Amino acid sequence: MSKVYAGRYTAQPDQDVTVFLIGMRINKVHRPDKWVPVVNAMPRMLKHLVTHPDAGLLGFHNWFGRTTLLLSYWQSSQHLRRFASDNEAPHAEAWRAFRRNVGDDGIVGIWHETYDVPAQNLEVVYGNMPRFGLGKATAQVPVGRGSHTAKQRINRLRDTTSAVG
């Protein structure tokens, strides 16, 4: 069981972050021959990314069900695209296998969304939670002076970046 951090915390990333959501939906449960290989592809990719930190993955969380969701944080969208197109990494072959074995037959749905988020636009808070999300992927710090409200947290980062630029 993960340690719960009592109280309120926020994330303190020192850089812009790319948030990548990806998942699949089993549209025809009675066709495991189509969806099991898709389910099995993601753990191989995550293992590769965890053992190759230079690929740019900062952290991730998974949720499973008929529709699955993987929330991940990346150093940049360039890192994400480089991983996706790297023939030495497990994604390219998994994508080719999906196109070859599933294609557009409607049995398995896949989706992803990518968001490049400048550090000055990030605002997060965690209350009575284990380390999670961006706070787990980067740095988690207690909410303190000047960071009690969402407006204060986002303005604090904006003030810091506007003073530099």
Q: How many helices (DSSP H) and strands (DSSP E) are in the chain?
A: 5, 7
pLDDT the model gives residue 46: 96
Q: Which two tokens stand for residue 160?
A: 């810091």
Cα–Cα distance measured from residue 102 to residue 59, given in angstroms and rounded to the nearest whole number:
29
pLDDT at 108: 94
The backbone torsions φ and ψ at residue 65, rounded to the nearest 5 degrees and listed phi first, read 170, -165
User: Residue 158 pLDDT > 70, yes or no?
Assistant: no
User: Residues of 17-36 as b/e, b for ≥16 C-beta within 10 angstroms?
Assistant: bbbbebbbebeeeeeeebbe
pLDDT of residue 102: 86
User: Quick one: which of 157, 66, 162 has its CA closest to 107?
Assistant: 66
Per residue in 47-102, pLDDT (tens digit) is 999 999 999 999 999 999 999 999 999 999 999 999 999 998 999 888 888 888 88
| 36, 72: one domain | yes
Q: Are 106 and 123 contained in the same domain?
A: no
Q: Are residues 61 and 101 in the same domain?
A: yes
Show the DSSP H helices in the chain as ranges.
32-51, 77-85, 90-101, 133-137, 150-164
Q: Which band of pLDDT confidence, cut at 50, 70 and 90, is reported for residue 10? A: very high
The CATH number of the domain holding residue 73 is 3.30.70.100
Q: pLDDT confidence of 161, banded at 50, 70, 90?
A: low
Residue 104 has pLDDT above 80, yes or no: yes
Q: What's this model's pTM, rounded to 2 decimal places?
A: 0.88
Query: Of the segments 9-13, 37-41, 61-65, which one has the largest average pLDDT value?
Result: 61-65
Who wins on pLDDT, 32 or 163? 32
Percent of the chain whose predicted confidence (pLDDT) is above 70: 94
Stretch 10-39: mean pLDDT: 93
92 and 122 housed in the same domain: no
Domain, as residue range, for 84: 17-117
Do 106 and 40 belong to one domain? yes
What is the dihedral sign for C-alpha 164, 118, 4, 147? positive
Tell me the β-bridge partners of 62. Answer: 70
